[in-house]
Amino acid sequence: MEFTIKQIADFLQGDIEGGDSIKINNLAKIEQGETGTLSFLANPKYTQYIYTCKSSAVIVNKDFKPEQEIAATLIRVDDAYSSFAKMLTLFSEQKPPKGISRKTKIHRSAKIGKNVFIGDFVSIAEGVTIGDNTIIHQNVTIYKNVTIKSESLIYAGVQIMENCEIGNNCILLAGAIIGSDGFGFAPVKDGEYLKIPQTGNVILEDNVEIGANSTIDRATMGSTIIRSGAKIDNLIQIGHNCEIGSNTVIAGQTGVSGSTRIGKNCMIGGQVGIAGHLHIGDNVMIAAKSGIMVDIQDNEFHMGVPSFDARKYKKSYLYFKNFDKIAKRISELEKQVKDLKQ
Please list the active-site residues: 240
The full DSSP string for 176-192 is -EEEEPP--EEE-GGG-
Sign of CA dihedral 238, 222, 148, 205: negative
SS (H, E, C) 3-59: EEHHHHHHHHCCEEECCCCCEECEECCCCCCCCCEEEEECCHHHHHHHCCCCCCEEE
97: cis peptide before it, omega within 30°? no
- SS3 state of residue 235: coil
For 214-229, b/e burial (b = at least 16 CB within 10 A) is bbbbbbbeebbbbbbb
Q: How far is it, in rounded angstroms, from Cα 165 to Cα 131?
A: 12
Contact 290, 280 (CB under 8 A): no
Point out which residues pair with 195 in neighbouring strands: 185
- CA 331, distance to chain mean position in Å, is 49
In the DSSP assignment, the letter for residue 273 is E
